[in-house]
Amino acid sequence: MTAVTIRRRVPPDDEQLFDLYRDVFGESLTESSQRRWRWQYLDNPANGPEGPKIWLATESGKILGQYASMPVDLWWGGREVRSSWGMDVFVRREARGRGLGEKLFTYWSDHVDVALGLGLTPSSYGLFRKLHYRDVGPVPFFRKVLDPRAVAQRRLGAAVGAFVAPLLRLGWNWFAPTKAEPGTDVTVEPITGFSAEYDKLWESARESFAMCVRRDAAYLNWKYRDSPGQKYTLWEARRLGKLAGYAISRHEDYRGLELGWLLDVFAPAGQHGVRDALVGAVLESFEGEGVARAQAFALSGVLGESLRRHGFRVGRSPMQFCVRSRVPDEGVFETPDRWHVVFGDSDMDRQ
């Protein structure tokens, strides 16, 4: 048997790579993956001159498996380092049981300063733990009922739901009252894209966090404005005319219940009034759009506090998060409340 080689993807691999997609996922899912693939991997502004970070396991020229990641510049303990989110790993059926997944995982994490795994499947979570990644998650899950009648009727039926809805509203307001205090000098408006001002916002905000993906204009426009899948609403906060923060939201029908997602809410850590104003503006828009429940994943002390001030409660989170660092961490792991990780990171909000 010839030796398996782990190497980086090059453009001539793409035809055989999509044959692998078809073998693993079938024709229909491969077609949807191809539509998203160029944006997700080729257009990422964090790519270096060598292209996307896709690692292949090959034997005698045949691709047996892949590990694809999303490269990002990561603020980590007071400096920016090379990092990437681990995403798509799969192996051909006939090549399973040979430890290729573990080899691909290891090769990927050995070629970045900080390897990030978010929203892990049970099998991936077990492999991350086996390879001695730090278990940081689960990422806290926040939710707030905006329309008790819709939520109650969805769970209990129309008649019973209508009866208990007023009690549900009273209970929610009692246990999770709104105490937010948005700054009176802060204005929030929807926007269509991110200007060069966001580069300056990132430079001024990053030092207030111990860990956060670089959020400059190039990244934000690629991630949210240009996404070929989900359609997002972009929000901008200004304090006395100066850019102070942003938020990303969307809503969807989920099995007959309208859900609203806060994908990201970002401002310098000390700008509590700005965050409160952004969250409040998104919630107001949700109520006008008939959203029954608002939701957010957030590993961020300051954002979590803002969500609680707006009446969000913490629920059970399925979003596991593991990290491996190959560079000095400067105490980063000891201060997870100073991290900023949200549902909009990695590729969690995939359509």
**Model pLDDT for residues 41-55, shown as the tens digit of each residue:** 999 999 988 889 999
Contact partners, residue 83, CB within 8 Å, separation at least 6: 71, 72, 73, 74, 76, 112, 113, 114, 115, 116, 213
Q: Which of 179-183, 248-252, 325-329 tops mean pLDDT?
A: 248-252
Residue with tokens 């993807």: 9
Do 288 and 147 touch, CB atoms closer than 8 A?
Answer: no
Categorize the per-residue pLDDT at 293 as very low, low, confident or very high, splitting at 50, 70 and 90: very high
Categorize the per-residue pLDDT at 135 as very low, low, confident or very high, splitting at 50, 70 and 90: very high
The CATH class, in words, for 5-135 is alpha beta
* High-pLDDT (> 90) share of the chain, %: 65
pLDDT of residue 50: 87
pLDDT of residue 339: 97
**pLDDT beyond 60 at 98:** yes
Do 112 and 324 touch, CB atoms closer than 8 A?
Answer: no
Q: Which residue has the higher pLDDT, 106 or 1?
A: 106
Does residue 142 sit in helix, strand or coil?
A: strand
DSSP tag of 140:
P
CA-based nearest residue to 85, from 350, 351, 318, 347: 347
Categorize the per-residue pLDDT at 132 as very low, low, confident or very high, splitting at 50, 70 and 90: confident
Where does the chain hold its CATH 3.40.630.30 domain(s)? 5-135, 141-316
pLDDT of residue 152: 64
Do 92 and 115 touch, CB atoms closer than 8 A?
Answer: no
Do 107 and 84 touch, CB atoms closer than 8 A?
Answer: no
Q: What is the CATH number of domain 141-316?
A: 3.40.630.30
For the chain, count helices (H), then strands (E).
10, 16
Do 226 and 259 touch, CB atoms closer than 8 A?
Answer: no
Look at strands 293-299 and 141-145 and give their pairing: antiparallel
CA–CA separation, 63 vs 124, rounded Å?
A: 21
Average pLDDT on 177-199 reads 88
**pLDDT beyond 60 at 148:** yes
**pLDDT beyond 80 at 168:** no
Range scoring the smallest mean pLDDT among 58-62, 169-173, 294-298 = 169-173
Categorize the per-residue pLDDT at 93 as very low, low, confident or very high, splitting at 50, 70 and 90: confident
Quick: pLDDT tens for 213-266: 999 999 999 999 999 878 999 999 999 999 999 999 999 998 888 999 999 999
